[in-house]
Structure 1
Amino acid sequence: MSQNYRGSGSFATFLIIGPVCFFLGILFASFPYDFPLLWSPDPITPLHISQIETHLRFMHAAPPLISRLLHIIITVGFLGFFTKLYRASESNILFDGGSLLLYLIAAGVYITNVVTPMNALAEQLEGERGGVEKFVHSGPLTGEVELTREESLRVLSASHTILAFVLVGVLVLQAGQWYAEKREREDYAAWVARGEPVEVMDDDEEGEKEREKEEREQEREEREQGEREEGKKDI
């Protein structure tokens, strides 16, 4: 393993796990509002819909400092990924690369399925009172799709559920990296106990080894090609 390897015990891992757990906490705080919309067999009452809309309106009217802090924490997560993937090893590419992909999916879901609908819903609630309001979304293929208040809230709640599963996937991959490192340390201890030589190289030495291997392969191919050409001349 490279001496510059950034594994599960590095500070960059904390920069990843911290924001992910923070976002899961936010989603858990919204679970009492999402559960009746998605998981409860009981019908949704107009009172409950009004309570959810009041909650969303309150969140949308929060001071700008709140959203800025949220975006800073999102950026901290990306900083952790980029730090671990700088001069990445195979383990970083496998576990941290997969985690970064899930994190990007979560960011995309947050922007398209949470921020945009919440802004539109907040504008609708400010401009309409009473009756059965419609949430109009302009679709790229079908024109306008009309959603009732309950349907628009269900879409937002479903997005929260998708975010939760994706973020849990990030934690699973980071835990998998920790387990892989644990097994590697156990194998290393077993090799040392048996007296077998174990070589630890830094990144420069690994690169030098790879270059030497490529040079040997190239020399072997040139030598074989020369032998084939000499054989053709003899024929």
Structure 2
Amino acid sequence: MAKANQFATFLIIGPICFFLGILFSSFPYDYNILWSTPSDREVYFKILEDHIKFLYASPPIISRILHIVIGTGLAGFLLKLYKATEANYLFDGASLVLYMAGITVYITNIVKGFRVVTAGVYGEVPEAVPGETDVDYITREDTLRVFAASNTILALVLVGVLVLQAGQWYALRKEEAEIAEFNRVDEEKKKAGKKKQ
């Protein structure tokens, strides 16, 4: 594997691990919203809501660092897909699709969730709206569940990128070993042919 390709892989894996660390630190908040049924669930909704408000109120440098890291991952994919081999198209193309799906989840669900929760504008069902029986309203609890589920989906997508990158590394190592074995057998045949002459 060329040095540039190794560096590009590092530019992809580094940000993925960074994001997984962020998501892991949010897991204690998300777990009680999604998978456990504590007796006083409202406490956990309040804790998650306060956590989201705290993160949204963080200094602008935090979001800038996050966006720089996202850009670093994209730069890694562009480097790997520049003058790409077949393996790059298969593994890195699929990885890039997953990475872009993760960015889409981040923009559509997580960023929107930050804004909705911080503003406190949930789609509560009005007391009496004549003639509007089929309108869907998203409550505070549903908004927080969607936010927590989005973190989980994003984590799974990022793990998928890591699995594809590991698969590419394994496939390239296997190919190099097969080429080395082929070359060794070829050299032995050439030496055997020279001895017969």
Fold shared, TM-score > 0.5 on shorter chain: yes
Partner of 2:122: 135
* TM-score scaled by length of structure 1: 0.71
Q: Which runs of 5+ in 1 are unaligned?
A: 125-133, 198-235
Write out per-residue CA displacement over residues 173-228 of structure 1, whole angstroms, 9 at most, x where no aligned residue: 0000010011111101211221259xxxxxxxxxxxxxxxxxxxxxxxxxxxxxxx
Contact map agreement 1:38 1:154 (CA 8 A) in 2? yes
* TM-score scaled by length of structure 2: 0.85
115, 118, 123: which is aligned to 1:122? 118
Name the CA distance, whole Å, in 2 between partners of 1:71 and 1:4. Answer: 28
Contact map agreement 1:60 1:118 (CA 8 A) in 2? yes
Runs of 4+ in 1 over 6 A off after TM superposition: none
Partner of 1:85: 81
Contact map agreement 1:103 1:166 (CA 8 A) in 2? yes
145, 151, 158: which is aligned to 1:160? 151
More helix by share: 2
More strand by share: 1
In 2 relative to 1, CA 177–113 (structure 1 residues): closer, same or farther, beyond 3 Å? same
Partner of 1:173: 164
Residue 51 of structure 1 deviates from its aligned partner by: 1.3
Residue 45 of structure 1 deviates from its aligned partner by: 2.4
Secondary structure at the aligned position of 1:147 is classed as coil
Partner of 2:173: 182
Report the aligned-residue RMSD: 2.2
In 2 relative to 1, CA 96–117 (structure 1 residues): closer, same or farther, beyond 3 Å? same
Q: Which runs of 5+ in 2 are unaligned?
A: 125-132, 189-197
93, 105, 109: which is aligned to 2:105? 109
Write out per-residue CA displacement over residues 45-76 of structure 1, whole angstroms, 9 at most, x where no aligned residue: 22222111111110010001100110000000
Which of 1 and 2 has greater Rg? 1
Name the CA distance, whole Å, in 1 between partners of 2:79 and 2:35. Answer: 39
